[in-house]
Amino acid sequence: VLLLAQRLRRQLIDEVLAGDDETTLAYLRRSGFSEQTINHFFRPFYGGIFLDRSLRTSAKCFRFDFKMLSEGAAALPAHGMGAIAGQLGDALLERGLIRLHTP
């Protein structure tokens, strides 16, 4: 995983997105990742990002996201991702834009 991050960091975004496309799964297999790594790291993590645990998402999208995550800082809410929906919902509820328990 570290080698992939290092390789993608050296590439420009145009280079990451260039050429023919394939599925993320095909790209990972062609890149030499074991089925264990794919199933225990890439499927849960990128399955959550792309909402596609089958990893049929474009490898170009995968490489772009992997590059961005490896170059930048990622953050999660202290109380989990559900806290985002709660915060957005609370703001809408206060403004009367969401009504609960109505027919």
Per-residue pLDDT of 43-102, as tens digits, reads 999 999 999 999 999 999 999 999 999 998 878 888 888 888 888 888 888 888 888 788
Collapsing DSSP to helix, strand or coil, 96 comes out as coil
pLDDT at 14: 95
Q: What are phi and psi of 85, to 5 degrees?
A: -60, -40
Judge whether 102 lies within some domain: no
Residue 10 tokens, joined: 């050296």
Residue 90 within a domain = no
Q: What is the pLDDT of residues 3-57, one digit of tens each?
A: 999 999 999 999 999 989 999 999 999 999 999 999 999 999 999 999 999 999 9
Does residue 53 lie within any of the structural domains? yes
Q: Residue 64: give the domain boundaries.
A: 2-76
- Reduce the secondary structure of 11-60 to three states and give it as a string: CCHHHHHCCCCCEHHHHHHHCCCCHHHHHHHHHHHHHHHHCCCCCCCEHH
Q: How many domains would you assign to the chain?
A: 1
Question: What pTM was estimated for this model as a whole?
Answer: 0.71
